[in-house]
Amino acid sequence: MLIAILERLRDMVRWKRAEIWRTNRCFVLHDNAPAHRSVLVTDFLSNNNVTALEHPILLAQVDFYLFP
């Protein structure tokens, strides 16, 4: 199911944003969900030249004093 969604996304990027696909500037932001870290998904992304960006680390509650 998830691979089918990624294939549809890939095809839509190829069709609607061909310049992004041609220049290999296609990125996916990972949220570290177990389904998104599976071997099938990571293999699909690497085989299709899609760069997976890691989700930024969330701030701990002790860091909240840094922001107004």
Domain membership of residue 65 (yes or no) is no
Q: Whole-model pTM?
A: 0.65
Position 59 scores a pLDDT of: 55
What domain range is 43 assigned to? 2-56
Domain membership of residue 62 (yes or no) is no
Domain membership of residue 37 (yes or no) is yes
Domain membership of residue 61 (yes or no) is no
Query: What one-character-per-residue DSSP string does 4-64 give?
Result: HHHHHHHHHHHHH-HHHHHTT--EEE----TTTTSHHHHHHHHHTT-EEEPPPPPPPGGGG
Is pLDDT above 80 for 62? Answer: no
Domain membership of residue 63 (yes or no) is no
Domain membership of residue 7 (yes or no) is yes
pLDDT digits (tens, 9 = 90+) for 4-61: 988 998 888 888 888 887 887 778 877 778 887 889 988 998 898 888 887 766 655 5
Position 57 scores a pLDDT of: 66
pLDDT band, very low/low/confident/very high, at 63 (cuts 50, 70, 90): low
Residues paired with residue 29 on neighbouring β-strands, in sequence order: 53
